[in-house]
Amino acid sequence: MTTLLVEFRGWVIIEQMPNAHPFQTHPFQTDDPRLIPIKDKVLAGERLTEADALVLYGTGDILAVGWLANWVRERMHGDKAYFNVNRHINPTNVCVAACRLCAFGRKKDTPGAYTMALEEAFQTAASGYTEAVTEFHIVGGLHPDLPFQYFLDLVSGLKERFPQVHMKAFTMVEVAYLAKRSKLTIRETLVKMKEAGVDSLPGGGAEIFSDRVRHIICDHKIDGDQWLDTARLAHQIGLKSNATMLYGHIEDDEDRVDHLLKLRALQDETGGFQTFIPLAFHPANTPLQHLFTTTGMDDIKQIAVSRLVLDNFPHIKSYWQMMTPKIAQISLRFGADDIDGTVVEEKIYHDAGATTPQGLRRHDLVRLIQEAGREPIERDTLYRPVTRTETSFTVSV
């Protein structure tokens, strides 16, 4: 045990606490006394409440929140920081939904609208960096005419050409839309996708579950409950998924907490989520472009609060495309254990004004992680270690 003196506005708070985690170099300290009982819960492995989460969002003591998130992160993963070598494929940007949050979707036959022929998608998959990718990340718009069979053929064709590559494909929103268009249940749709070669789902389209916010930013999408129901069904048929949250637009702290608690409850039920990915909103070229972009403080705090509240999620990702490589790197000391992958060609956030590169090389990711004092671990989509040569890789199972 360590005796810790915490000074707060003239008061001295004496704290008895376990020694800091072996990786951490200094004890917990704070100038916000509301964080003391939360610290006690975190160190005891107790679950945080809605009220605790609101305190974490509300405090200005980012270093104390970061200390706690880092403590949890190091208890779960030590010094390991994960990345992967992946490629994004966006087969179409044609979309019926017209979400206000979006700069990617286009109406059919309008300037900039595109849909890849299957052969073009296969060529895209093979292009880009020479490093062998372990994952295709496939998401796109809600096309009014493309048949479900196009998407099944896309996945099975990729699987045939790249049998070793994991197919992380289709948001819950795309799954629900394709189910509706093909007059199948969500479960039947997911089963057909799995049979075609889908290995897991990326977890996009969750945005913010709050109806109030959803009506404004994405009123044509499935609602929060439908997103959660689709994820539940995916997990029930053996497909793992990630989960996302779009923040930094018109939501408030209560909306963020509500979103996290709903995800935590579903994870208790299914255990099917692998990674939580908070996505910073990029307003440029959207109908919400009058809004500010997120700040570094908000981004870092979002990562830390996510790590502390989502106690049943194995991984918290600081997605470098959305956060910038610099914030993603710092996040590795504030709760994140993953910074995503090489990506190669990101379209969705670059249409919304992202100034990050469209892709990073493997050695760039390794350097970011090493300079954060962490141990880079190349993973596959299921977080199994990858060993590679220049043009091939082996997954440890």
Give yes or no for residue 322 binding ligand SF4 (CB under 6 A): no
Q: Nearer to ligand SF4 by C-beta: 131 or 174?
A: 174
Tokens read off for 115? 């849909």
Tokens read off for 192? 């057909």
- Please, what is the minimum distance in Å from the beta carbon of residue 281 to ligand SF4? 11
Q: Nearer to ligand SF4 by C-beta: 104 or 334?
A: 104
Give yes or no for residue 245 binding ligand SF4 (CB under 6 A): no
Among 6, 42, 69, 173, interactor with ligand SF4 by CB under 6 A: 173
Of residues 236, 241, 211, the one with CA closest to residue 224: 211
Q: Which residue do the tokens 């072996």 mark?
A: 22
Q: Nearer to ligand SF4 by C-beta: 99 or 146?
A: 99
Q: Nearer to ligand SF4 by C-beta: 6 or 101?
A: 101
Surface-to-core class of residue 89, CB atoms within 10 Å of its CB (0-12 exposed, 13-18 middle, 19+ buried): buried
Give yes or no for residue 132 binding ligand SF4 (CB under 6 A): no
Of residues 97, 316, 87, 107, the one with CA closest to residue 205: 97
Among 38, 77, 86, 105, interactor with ligand SF4 by CB under 6 A: 105
> What is the total residue count of the chain?
397
Among 89, 95, 303, 310, interactor with ligand SF4 by CB under 6 A: 95
- Please, what is the minimum distance in Å from the beta carbon of residue 16 to ligand SF4? 50
Contact in structure between 112 and 347 (CB atoms under 8 Å): no
Segment contacting ligand SF4 (CB under 6 A): 99-107, 179-187, 222-230, 292-300? 99-107
The β-bridge relationship of strands 386-388 and 393-395 is antiparallel
Of residues 344, 391, 386, the one with CA closest to residue 364: 344
- Please, what is the minimum distance in Å from the beta carbon of residue 94 to ligand SF4? 9
- Would you tell me how many other CB atoms lie within 10 Å of the CB of residue 73? 30
Give yes or no for residue 99 binding ligand SF4 (CB under 6 A): yes
Distance CA 140, CA 12 (A): 55
Segment contacting ligand SF4 (CB under 6 A): 93-101, 208-216, 279-287, 314-322? 93-101
Q: Nearer to ligand SF4 by C-beta: 43 or 97?
A: 97
- Please, what is the minimum distance in Å from the beta carbon of residue 221 to ligand SF4? 6
Residue list 203-222, contact with ligand SF4 (CB under 6 A): 218, 221
Q: Report how many residues bind ligand SF4 under the rule CB under 6 A.
A: 12
Distance CA 133, CA 104 (A): 24
- Please, what is the minimum distance in Å from the beta carbon of residue 347 to ligand SF4? 10
| Residue 167: φ, ψ to 5° | -100, 105
Give yes or no for residue 283 binding ligand SF4 (CB under 6 A): no
What is the x/- site pattern for ligand SF4, positions 135-154, by CB under 6 A?
Answer: ------xx------------
- Please, what is the minimum distance in Å from the beta carbon of residue 185 to ligand SF4? 21
Segment contacting ligand SF4 (CB under 6 A): 96-104, 222-230, 356-364, 380-388? 96-104
Distance CA 216, CA 128 (A): 37
Give yes or no for residue 76 binding ligand SF4 (CB under 6 A): no
Q: Nearer to ligand SF4 by C-beta: 159 or 347?
A: 347
Give yes or no for residue 354 binding ligand SF4 (CB under 6 A): no
Among 28, 83, 104, 162, interactor with ligand SF4 by CB under 6 A: 104
Segment contacting ligand SF4 (CB under 6 A): 98-106, 112-120, 127-135, 281-289? 98-106
Give yes or no for residue 386 binding ligand SF4 (CB under 6 A): no
Query: Rounded to whole angstroms, what are the CA distances from 266 to 279, 313, 382?
Result: 20, 11, 19
- Please, what is the minimum distance in Å from the beta carbon of residue 139 to ligand SF4? 8
The residues that touch ligand SF4, with contacts defined as CB under 6 A, are 95, 97-99, 102, 104-105, 141-142, 173, 218, 221
